[in-house]
Amino acid sequence: MGGDRAGRGRGISVRKAAYAAGGVVLLAGCASMPDTGDLRGVESTPRQEAQVRVFAMPPSEDATPTQIVQGFLEALTSDDPNYKTARQYLTPEAAKTWQPEQSTTVLSNGPGAQADRPDREDTGALSYTLTGTKVATVDAQQSYAPDSGRYDKIVHLTKDAKSGQWRIDVVPQGVVMGKSDFQRNYMSVNKYYFASNSTATAATELPMAVADPVYVRRHVDPTTRMVRSLIGGPTSWLQPVVRSGFPTGTALRKGAEQLTPDDRGRLTVPLNDSAAEAGTRQCGEMAAQLLFTLRGLSPAVEEVELRAGGGQLCSLDREAVENVATRGALYTPDHLYFVDKQHRLARIAAGSSDTEPDPVPGALGEGGTTLRSVAVARDERTAAGVGIDGKSLFVTSLVSGSSLGEPVLSSQGRTEEDRLTTPSWDAQGGLWVADRDPGNPGLYLLEEGKGEPLEVRTPGLDGRVRAVRVAADGVRIALVVEQGDRRSLLIGRIERTRKDDGADGVPSGVRPPVTVLDLRSATPELEQVTAMSWAGDSRLVVVGREQGGVEQMKYVEVDGSTPDVTPPAALTGVKAVTASEDELTPLVADSVDGIVRLPSGAQWQKVTEGTAPVYPG
């Protein structure tokens, strides 16, 4: 099959035979294996087209230990729903205790395997060491996390005294495969919950959905698996700041197996009795979570019907879901904003071919102060601007005749680079900004863009914040953090303590603290991140470079994985980049050519002169 795995051990090169017909590839796990010697790397299956399914072959009669280990590792990369073929390489006892769903370990190349004592096959017992370099791990919650270091696990085989057949009796829990096999077998899907720790600005405000990316097997009934995963609850990292519409104890009804939408795109989801008492509003939220989660799967789900207690709870279609809940990607900005040549706030209609900007109404567009960077609230009624020297942050309405007023925050940093970052607005109208002053660094929040700045707690933050972007959901924040010579992109979870006179809350009259917790890297391979922006519900666009590499622009997921999408066209000299959670809105960058945009399917195009482009947020 070829692939990305390097040979290890002393055996001859392992060759594979594959049979493809009707979109099925059979991994001939034992047909052309060497009879003796160590395994070289288990050759990864070349990445197939989306419709191709891959199944492994069971062990052949009188297979050698080498062939058994090789066949087992190949079976881990197949589309066998319950790893039935892989279990045939194990003893009955090992097959019962092996839990492949416990984890998936991703290696840079496929696992190498070397017999520890190849000359002792006559003893009826033999061990192989599986080796490789770790790239990532997917845990039991299907949550992806970058990983590193050596992979080193033992597989032990025994020879059955009666049948004379070799089988594996000691096997590592979980599965292991090379990166190319992982990309072929798995896909990233966002499941959605609702923000629970944000501050609503209006009683009628719709609940804000938060993306929780997980990885599922691409060809193994992903619809049913995603429904089960969604009902089962959020991943541990996101759980403290979200809630689910599904009542506690809810599960698919016993006996419900493969869920498939009908020819009209209607998916019926049968739930157990725990969901039977859900009211209309709660059922609508449950259906919205399902529609948001299943929107990217095939076949497409256009409508969801929930059933429990022997009857229908509710139904919801794609057109009505926006009346029940919202998410960042449903918001389309009206304008692109930037600082013009006169250092004023200007704008151009978003997504248009316009190249002639207009000054915004109000003090920031009328030259009340010269600007270095700006941020516009998501309702596009208020803007914040940092003065050209980086010292002062101003907030004002985008209304003709509005006054600038006094700075809402000031920095005492000695140089422009040691002062205020570009600010960022969350969906509830909170304004976030970092002070890069080495003597007094801090991350600050101004609720509704005014009042006394609240210093945000950042336990575990090692380094100085150089850039800030808050997600539309208001519960996740992206930070570029400088530590020594390295600048990394970290994703944190925003937790707010609510006001409460009780012992567990905040006493009346005391401002509730806001904390950013569990920071994790989204770009472990990049040494220098120079610009970034949210570009989807769980995706960011990043400009940076690897150690010894050249500058590149790429998409990354919040969990540190790389999405299976085409990266942006190359662009040199990028100083800033902005995107919208609405993935149809074009990227815009500040480059050596001025402000440029990237329409879908096109190359970068010059827009106008200016700096610091931003979409609202």
Q: Each residue of 523-568: pLDDT tens digit?
A: 999 999 999 999 999 999 999 999 889 999 999 999 999 999 999 9
| Residue that finishes a domain, picked among 153, 182, 211 | 182
Residue 352 in any domain: the answer is yes
Residue 2 in any domain: the answer is no
* Model pLDDT, residue 506: 60
Residues 315 and 334 in one domain: no
- What would you report as the CA-atom Rg of the chain, rounded to the nearest whole angstrom? 27
* Model pLDDT, residue 23: 54
Pairing verdict, β 464-470 and 476-483: antiparallel
| Partners of residue 554 on adjacent β-strands | 542
Confidence grade of residue 159 (pLDDT, cut at 50, 70, 90): very high
* Model pLDDT, residue 343: 96
Distance CA 285, CA 291 (A): 10
Residue 10 in any domain: the answer is no
CATH code of the domain covering residue 534? 2.120.10.30
Residues 505 and 469 in one domain: yes
Distance CA 575, CA 478 (A): 17
Residues 128 and 269 in one domain: no
Residue 33 has pLDDT above 70, yes or no: no
Q: What is the mean pLDDT of residues 500-518?
A: 72
| Residue that finishes a domain, picked among 321, 355, 371 | 321
Residue 501 has pLDDT above 50, yes or no: no
SS3 232: helix
Q: What is the mean pLDDT of residues 259-284?
A: 96
Residue 491 has pLDDT above 70, yes or no: yes
* Model pLDDT, residue 172: 97
Domain that holds residue 137: 18-182
Residues 151 and 236 in one domain: no
> Among 309-313, 362-366, 398-402, 494-498, whose mean pLDDT is lowest?
494-498
Q: Is the dihedral of CA 540, 543, 546, 551 positive or negative?
A: positive
Residue 345 has pLDDT above 70, yes or no: yes
Confidence grade of residue 499 (pLDDT, cut at 50, 70, 90): low
Residue 187 in any domain: the answer is no
Residues 380 and 233 in one domain: no
Residues 206 and 59 in one domain: no
Distance CA 364, CA 538 (A): 31
Interval 576-589: pLDDT, tens:
999 999 888 999 99
Residue with tokens 């609202």: 616
User: Within the chain, what is the greatest distance between any pair of CA atoms?
Assistant: 93
Confidence grade of residue 417 (pLDDT, cut at 50, 70, 90): very high
Residues 235 and 213 in one domain: yes
Q: What percent of the chain has pLDDT over 70?
A: 88
Interval 242-264: pLDDT, tens:
999 999 999 999 999 899 999 99
Q: What is the mean pLDDT of the chain?
A: 89
Residue 200 has pLDDT above 50, yes or no: no
Residue 432 in any domain: the answer is yes
Residue 1 in any domain: the answer is no
Distance CA 388, CA 468 (A): 18
Q: What is the mean pLDDT of residues 439-453?
A: 95
How far lies 188's CA from each of 49, 183, 613, in Å?
16, 10, 30
Residue 307 has pLDDT above 50, yes or no: yes
* Model pLDDT, residue 202: 41
Dump strand ranges (E) for 278-435: 303-308, 311-317, 335-339, 345-349, 358-359, 371-376, 382-387, 392-397, 409-410, 424-425, 431-435
How far lies 214's CA from each of 44, 237, 522, in Å?
23, 12, 15
Residue 492 in any domain: the answer is yes
Residues 285 and 359 in one domain: no
Residues 390 and 464 in one domain: yes
Residue 199 has pLDDT above 70, yes or no: no
Contact 612, 602 (CB under 8 A): no
* Model pLDDT, residue 24: 54
Residues 496 and 568 in one domain: yes
The number of domains in the chain is 3
Residues 366 and 400 in one domain: yes
* Model pLDDT, residue 118: 67
Residue that wins the pLDDT comparison between 351 and 169? 169
* Model pLDDT, residue 583: 82
Residue 3 has pLDDT above 70, yes or no: no
Total-model pTM: 0.89
Residues 73 and 204 in one domain: no
* Model pLDDT, residue 50: 47
Distance CA 360, CA 346 (A): 5
Contact 186, 135 (CB under 8 A): no
Distance CA 9, CA 19 (A): 28
Contact 237, 493 (CB under 8 A): yes
Residue 39 has pLDDT above 60, yes or no: no
| Residue that finishes a domain, picked among 286, 321, 356 | 321
Residue 4 in any domain: the answer is no
